[in-house]
Chains A and B, each alone.
Chain A
Amino acid sequence: METATAQDILWPEVDLIRNEFPILQQTVNGRPLVYLDNGATTQKPVSVIRSMQEYYTQYNSNVHRGVHTLSQQATAAYEAARHAVAAYIGAHHHEVVFTKGTTDAINLVANGFRKAFLKEGDEIIISAMEHHSNIVPWQLICEEKGAKLKVVPVSDNGELDMDAYRSMLNGRVKLVSVTWVSNTLGTVNPVKEIIALAHEQGIPVMLDAAQAAAHIPIKVHELDVDFLALSGHKLYGPTGIGILYGKESWLEKLPPYQGGGDMIRHVTFEKTTYADVPLKFEAGTPAICEAIGLGAAVAWVNKVGIHKILAYEHQLTDYAVAALRLIDGLRFIGDAKHRSGAISFLVGDTHPSDVGVLLDQQGIAVRTGHHCTQPLCDRFGIPGTVRASLAVYNTTGDIDKLVDGVRKAVTLLG
C-alpha cells in the first residue's frame, strides 16, 4: 500500500476541484503551473466561464428596459445574480449594489459621505494595513472637506492595536473603514468587535471584504456592518464586477453616485427623481455578463461549501507556514494569531522581486512588491514582500514546490 501524502490527509478530493479550472492544467516556463497569487485574483471554474459564454451566445440583451424576451431573460439572470450574492453574504437583495469592484464600492460610499455628511473637523478612521483603495478615496474627501484621516496602528506581528482604536472613537468620527483580511499580512481582523465598539458611539463601519469573500463565511446582518465591499474576481468570478452591501437605511440616505440611465424614476430638465435602492446607484448599462458570472461563481462556492473552504485553507495555511519556516533566513511579515492564506515573507537580504522572477522561471506564480500597501511596507521598513496567497484549489504539492522553488532562488541569489 502506498503511504498517504499530506494532501491525502488534508483533502484528497481536491483534484476534483482542480479539474474544474481549465487554466490550472497548463505548464508555464516548461513547468506545471503553481498558482499562488490568489490574493490578486483567483482563477475561474468552468461553470463561471460557461455562464458568461451562454449569456453572449443565447440571451445578450439590455436589462430593465425591453419588453422583448431576451431582455426579460437577461434582466431575470442579472437580478438572480443579485439574489445569489445577497444570499451568500446574508443580505436582502435590495441591499446589494453592483459595482465595478471593491475600489468602486469604496469610492461610491466615500463620494456619498463627501456630499451628504462630511464636514470640516470631522474624522474618518482607517487602519495602517489598508490597501491603497481603502486609503486614497478617504484621503481625497478629507482633503477636500478639511476633515482628518485617523490611522489605527499595526503591531509588529501584524495585528491592529485595538486599544489605540478604542481611544480614537469619538463624536467627530463620521465613519470607520477597515479591511476584514489584510492582503499583505493575511491578518484576519476582529471585525465584530470593531463594529460593536464603533456602534456604541453611533459610528457606522465599512468593511473591505475583498480578501475575505472567498475564504470566510460572511453574514452581514449578524455582523451588523453598515457597508461592505467585495470584488467578483477574487471570488472565482470575473473582473469588472463587485458589490457594495449597504444597510437599507444607509443606502436611502446616501445621494446617488453617478447620473445616467437606469438610476432614475422620472427626468425633467427641472428636476430628476431617482430609482429606489439599489438601482439608484447603478447608472448606465451595467456589467450584465460579469454580474451573471459572479452569480455563477457564488453558486460554485456554495457547491463546494464556504465552511469546507475555510477549514481546508486553514489547514493548508498552517502547512505552508510550517514548511516555509524551515527555510534558512526566512522571516514572515505578519504573523498574526488569526490569519488567512495570504503569506508574506522575505529571505535574508534578498529582494522580493528577485525571488519572484526566479519563482516564475519555475512555473510558480506569486506576487512580489508592496501589494498596494505602501504605508504598511514603510511601517515594516521593507521594499515589499514575496506573497503566496492560497485558494481552495491549491494543494500541499503546490506548497512543496514553492518551498523548493524559494530554496533554489535563494541559492542562486546567494
Chain B
Amino acid sequence: MTIKEQQDRIIEDFEVFGDWMEKYEYIIQLGKDLPLIDPQYKTDDNLIRGCQSKVWLHAELKDGILEFTADSDAVITKGLVSLVIQVLSGHPPKEIAEAEIYFIEAIGLTSHLSPTRSNGLLSMLKQMKLYALAFQAKSMQN
C-alpha cells in the first residue's frame, strides 16, 4: 500500500467509532500492540523530547526501503506513534520525504499535533522526514 492508501485505510477504520472512548480504546490497544523497539536503539540519541512523554525513534534502511521502530513511555502517545509508523514505515525515503500527512487531522486528533509542549508527535513526524531526506541524500551520493 502507498502512504496515501495507508492513510485512507486508517481514516476509514476510525469512521466506525461512535464516541471518544471507542477511539481512544483503539489507540491504547495500538499502543500496547506496537512491536517493541530493540533495546539497543532506546538511547538518548534516539530520544525525541516532548514536554510530557518521551518517544524513541530508530530508522534503518534495508534494500532501499526505510523502516522505523519506536517506543514511548505513555501508551496513548505510543498508539499515535504506531499509526504514524503504519503510514510512513516501509517506503522508499523519497516517498516518505515528499508525503503529505493528512490522516491525523482527518481522524480528529489534531490536538495531538499542537506545536506546544505536548507529546512530541509533531517532532517525531519532522524527525522521520529528516531521516528520509538524510537517507535519500546518502543514496544519491552512492
**A contact set with B: CB distance below 8 Å:** 29, 350-354, 356-358, 360-361, 368-370, 383-384, 408, 412-413
Instruction: Find the residue from B21, B52, B54 having the highest chain A CB count within 10 A.
Output: B52
Using A351-B74, A353-B119 as known contacts, say yes or no to A361 and B51 having CB atoms under 8 A apart.
Answer: no
Question: Quick check: A413 and B28 within 8 Å, CB to CB?
Answer: yes
Residues from chain A with a CB closer than 8 A to the CB of B20 are 29, 361
Question: Quick check: B52 and A369 within 8 Å, CB to CB?
Answer: yes
Residues from chain A with a CB closer than 8 A to the CB of B51 are 369-370
Using A353-B52, A356-B52, A369-B117 as known contacts, say yes or no to A383 and B73 having CB atoms under 8 A apart.
Answer: yes
Nearest-Cβ distance from residue A412 to partner chain B, whole angstroms:
6
Nearest-Cβ distance from residue B34 to partner chain A, whole angstroms:
14
Using A29-B20, A413-B28 as known contacts, say yes or no to A354 and B117 having CB atoms under 8 A apart.
Answer: no
Q: Does B136 contact A (CB under 8 A)?
A: no
A-B contact sample (13 more), CB < 8 A, given A351-B74, A354-B76, A383-B52: A29-B20, A351-B75, A351-B76, A353-B77, A356-B52, A360-B111, A361-B21, A383-B53, A383-B54, A383-B73, A408-B21, A412-B28, A413-B28
CA distance A63 to B69 in the complex (A): 59
Residues from chain B with a CB closer than 8 A to the CB of A354 are 28, 53, 74-77
Nearest-Cβ distance from residue B44 to partner chain A, whole angstroms:
15
Instruction: Find the residue from A352, A353, A370 having the highest chain B CB count within 10 A.
Output: A353
Nearest residue in B to A408 (C-beta to C-beta)? B21
Interface size on B, residues (CB 8 A): 18
Q: What would 23 A/B residue contacts be, using CB atoms closer than 8 Å?
A: A350-B75, A351-B74, A351-B76, A353-B52, A353-B76, A353-B119, A354-B28, A354-B53, A354-B74, A354-B75, A356-B52, A357-B24, A357-B112, A358-B24, A358-B76, A361-B21, A361-B24, A369-B51, A369-B52, A384-B52, A408-B21, A412-B28, A413-B75
Nearest residue in B to A350 (C-beta to C-beta)? B75
CA distance A205 to B63 in the complex (A): 65
Residues from chain A with a CB closer than 8 A to the CB of B12 are none
Q: Does B25 contact A (CB under 8 A)?
A: yes
The 10 lowest CB-CB distance pairs between A and B, nearest first, are A351-B74, A353-B52, A361-B20, A369-B52, A353-B53, A353-B74, A354-B76, A354-B74, A357-B76, A369-B51
Q: Mark B51-95, 1 if CB is under 8 A from A, else 0.
A: 111100000000000000000011111000000000000000000
Nearest-Cβ distance from residue A296 to partner chain B, whole angstroms:
29
Residues from chain B with a CB closer than 8 A to the CB of A357 are 24, 76, 112
Question: Quick check: B53 and A412 within 8 Å, CB to CB?
Answer: no
Using A353-B52, A368-B52, A369-B52 as known contacts, say yes or no to A412 and B74 having CB atoms under 8 A apart.
Answer: no
CA distance A384 to B119 in the complex (A): 13
Residues from chain B with a CB closer than 8 A to the CB of A369 are 51-52, 117
Instruction: Find the residue from A356, A357, A368, A370 having the highest chain B CB count within 10 A.
Output: A357
